[in-house]
Amino acid sequence: MAVPALPERYNVSTILDRNLEAGRGGKVAVRSGDREVTYEQLLADACAAGRAFRALGVGREQRILLVLDDTPAFPAAFLGAIRAGLVPVPLNPLFKPDDYHYLLADSDARAVVVDLDLLGKVREAVAARGDPVELITVGGAEGTHDFDELLVEHAGELDPAGSHRDDPAFWLYSSGSTGRPKGVVHLQHDLPYTCQTYGSDVLGIRSDDVCLSTTKQFHAYGLGNSLSFPYWVGATAVLLRGRAAPAAILDAVERHRPTLLFSVPTLYNAMLAAPAAAERDLSSVRLCVSAAESLPAEIWRRWHDTFGLTILDGIGSTEMLHIFCSNAATDLRPGSSGKPVPGYDLKLLDEELGLTPAGETGNLYVRGDSALAGYWRQHEKTKQTVLGDWVYTGDRYRQDDDGFWWHQGRVDDMLKVGGLWVSPVEMEQTLAEHPAVFECAVVQVLVDGLTRIKAVVVTEQPDPERLTPELQEWCKRRLQRYEYPHLVEYAKELPKTTTGKIQRYKLRDTAPGETPGPSPKEDVL
């Protein structure tokens, strides 16, 4: 792997300039609905946005929040802020006003760029904040600055701020399912590092690729898929606005003909279940990518059998910016997370920070140069997560004799029954192979103070309760005899985060008189 040789003074917004220097100014950088934006126009919009933010009084390394869906306004605002020496902070558009109020206070943001249909929530948060905050609306609204008008008013070249390659470039807030979100600080050199390690070395991304991601750009996974990876090589990104519904995704694939498709296990499964899925034309796609949680081998096989396409499953995190362990097209094991991406090292430690014996399950640590600089204003949490140049992921893993890494669940998700560790992930993958199971999740419950295993199953069976003994025996025959659900519940759907990850803590039940355990962390891609 050839890590990008960056000069000491480096500003990551120049990821756009390199395309003009390569003669790709007229190449389409972004497709969004019927709109196309070339690299030349996107650079001009980013320059104008940066000039506008400065004119509104946002100073060097001050934060500017982005509450935006996936449209061309996002890369213009994100890269424009970095170009001006500011720090953009993309946020989840589905947050509630109270969340935005907290994040305004935590970040000390001086401005917010927000889509018109999200303005009400942000205005409520700003009003509660009290301190002056500039509101910039994509779509225009009374009492706010119109983003498009600002681009026209402040059109012109903008030299990139003289940032150091180790200066802050942007923040990403973790999902915060076990408490308030944490501001993850990333540096100017982090994006190029992931572009080389994963984008080039694993995906082999090229200038003629077209990227389509169901995960939005406010998320670390989506930011790489739709912004940094395609812009690094001069490829085209297709941006999908609104909810990533299975039929809409398949429609977009047929319309925009992407060569790289990025999604999550839940949506791959949902697309397979969409009406007439097998008749859909996915022939333009050369590779599919999955992250956010482990992709069951059964979904991998069904996708491959239906469309003839390979999914590269991997693990990444907000803290590491993108995928650091992945399957590769030429080195793949369905159901596993693959092997370390070039440029990253992995190790397993026990609770006392000793090395885990070969073949056993341990806590996963990763190191690589895209790691977070720290959590904003959370010094103690940073010390708990960053140990020298290693980052604690909170995931339990084992490595097999062939070098493949197998996810065993989150640290808080691992079950210990009768003194034996049980992996909910392995049990979920086994249950998912049963023909009557559409989707499932495995969690622990307390019964009379003892840990028991519960599976929550989504099925179309008319009388699902009759399935329970069959599912229990199914697991016993395929796993260790103690690795089976003591209880099985049936649901119409599973609760998920906005990025499609199952929220297992919502499925945990507690027997009378018992106290619920802590909720699992949901910070992965």
How far apart are alpha carbons 341 and 319 in whole angstroms? 16
Asked if the structure places residue 74 within a domain, the reply is: no
Contact 94, 72 (CB under 8 A): no
Beta strands in 299-404 (DSSP E): 311-316, 323-326, 339-340, 345-349, 362-367, 374-375, 386-387, 390-399
Number of neighbours of residue 237 by Cβ within 10 angstroms: 28
Q: How many residues does the chain have?
A: 525
Helix (H) or strand (E) holding 303: helix 297-307
How far apart are alpha carbons 296 and 265 in whole angstroms? 8
Contact 224, 199 (CB under 8 A): yes
Q: What is the mean pLDDT of residues 491-519?
A: 66
Read off the amino acid at residue 354: G
Please state which of the ranges 48-62, 190-204, 484-498 shows the lowest mean pLDDT.
Answer: 484-498
**CATH number of the domain where residue 433 is located:** 3.30.300.30
Residue indicated by tokens 């982005």:
66
CB proximity list for 394: less than 8 A, separation 6 or greater: 363, 364, 410, 411, 412, 521, 523
pLDDT at 313: 97
Contact 230, 205 (CB under 8 A): yes
Residue 524 has what DSSP assignment?
B
Contact 256, 281 (CB under 8 A): no
Q: Give CA separation, 119 vs 79, 145, 209, 374, in Å.
A: 22, 12, 35, 30
pLDDT at 179: 63
Asked if the structure places residue 466 within a domain, the reply is: yes
Closest CA to 58 of 31, 81, 89: 81
Which pLDDT tens digit goes with each residue over 98-156?
989 999 999 999 999 999 999 999 999 999 987 899 999 999 999 999 999 999 999 99
Confidence of residue 292 (pLDDT cuts 50, 70, 90): confident
Helix H segments across 335-467?
A: 379-385, 424-432
Bridge partners, 331 (sequence order): 328
Asked if the structure places residue 89 within a domain, the reply is: no
Residue 226 has what DSSP assignment?
I
Helix H segments across 22-118?
A: 39-55, 73-83, 97-107
Asked if the structure places residue 424 within a domain, the reply is: yes
How far apart are alpha carbons 373 and 459 in whole angstroms? 44
pLDDT at 131: 85
Contact 406, 337 (CB under 8 A): yes
- In this model, does residue 513 exceed pLDDT 60? no
Asked if the structure places residue 464 within a domain, the reply is: yes
Range of the domain at 431: 412-506
Asked if the structure places residue 418 within a domain, the reply is: yes
Number of domains comprising the chain = 1
- In this model, does residue 469 exceed pLDDT 70? yes
Residue indicated by tokens 């992930």:
425
Q: Strand, coil or helix: what is 157?
A: coil
* % of the chain residues with pLDDT over 90: 81
Asked if the structure places residue 295 within a domain, the reply is: no
Q: What are phi and psi of 455, to 5 degrees?
A: -110, 135
pLDDT at 175: 67
How far apart are alpha carbons 193 and 98 in whole angstroms? 35
Read off the amino acid at residue 457: V
Dihedral in degrees, nearest 10, Cα atoms 430, 431, 437, 442: -130
- In this model, does residue 520 exceed pLDDT 50? no
Q: Does pTM surpass 0.85? A: yes
Which pLDDT tens digit goes with each residue over 307-346?
999 999 999 999 999 999 999 999 999 999 999 999 999 9
Contact 88, 77 (CB under 8 A): yes
What interhelical angle do 297-307 and 424-432 show, nearest 10?
40
Q: Strand, coil or helix: what is 170?
A: strand
How far apart are alpha carbons 40 and 21 in whole angstroms? 10
Asked if the structure places residue 233 within a domain, the reply is: no
Which pLDDT tens digit goes with each residue over 389-447?
999 999 999 999 999 999 998 887 777 776 677 888 889 999 999 999 999 999 988 88
